[in-house]
Amino acid sequence: MDARAARKERRVRMGHGKLRKFAENETFACLVQPDGREILADGYSTLRDHPLKGHWFEGSGAPIVLELGCGRGEYTVELARRHPDINYIGVDIKGARLWSGAKQATQEGLSNVRFLRTRIELITAFFAPGEISEIWLTFSDPQLGKENARLTSPLFLERYRQFLAPDGVVHLKTDSRFLHEYTKALCADNGLPILACTADLYSEHSHSGPHPEPHPSRQGVSPQRSRAVGDSLPSVSELALLGSGSAAGMTIQPEVYEVQTYYERMFLEQGYKITYMAFRPGGATPIVSPASFDKDYWRAAEGPRRTFSHR
């Protein structure tokens, strides 16, 4: 068999595999797959509410934590295993990826796990004000040239405000120094409390990456330096993974680095640094783009993106 025929056969096998997963997805009670056309029937500016909005875990009373762009769902499932008293929802648009997490949750009988297949731009159609306690963003696409597509952009943070609890927390874990520094500058410029922040989560394991020497920020603080801002810890759930005593002023609990995605492990094996920060986006003042962020510097520092998909 020549190379072209071999590639064609692989594509056919992959296609059959996806069809099998799509069919099995229909059997998973934990996986919600709404029709986007119904949500968008009145246009993007007036999304129609999904029936589950405000009713995801009826009678539970436990906090609900979202993972946006959850991919295969390994982060959502592992957190749910560790915290049966907290509810988790993983959100992604790729059904073949969600199949993995939904199947695992189904096989293990995890009643505190749901998955939602939808575009994140439509997220406000699914959750009521104050319904969500925390959001995890794990290895999101940094969208180097498209700020409004960035999951920590003012556009998305304003959406999160519509359903996050007043003291709700956003966790950002990424291999992208560009996205990390952008989000840190956005928090600083908008006065959003940063609860924990490190540019090298696994420094104790001597992981290193191809990042440049730090470039001084306009506030006079080195972007390389881990730091924490804010007087109190999040009280929204037991995933307030912050204590005291670290060089940054707070300790990031082991769970943050013990729970890893497939691509996170791959990045670590290749020597890339993993960053982490947690912040509160709540408030009524409109969030604006960070004027202090040196996008040209950090875009150059980012270098070429990985040759494999984040998801």
Sign of CA dihedral 176, 180, 185, 186: positive
42 is catalytic: no
CA distance 306 to 90: 24
Tokens describing residue 296: 């040209």
Place of tokens 């150059």: 300
CB 123, CB 93: distance < 8 Å? no
> CA separation (Å) from 42 to 54, 64, 123, 127?
21, 28, 15, 18
Per-position b or e across 86-106, b if 16+ CB within 10 A of its CB: bbbbbbbbebbbbbbbbbbbb
End-to-end CA distance of the chain: 30
Query: Nearest Cα to 281, choosing from 236, 243, 227, 218?
Result: 236
Left if phi > 0, otherwise alpha if psi is -120 to 50, otherwise beta: which for 62?
beta
Which candidate in 2, 85, 92, 141 is catalytic? 141
Tokens describing residue 142: 């940094």
> CA separation (Å) from 217 to 254, 287, 295, 296?
29, 20, 11, 13
Residues acting as catalytic residues: 141
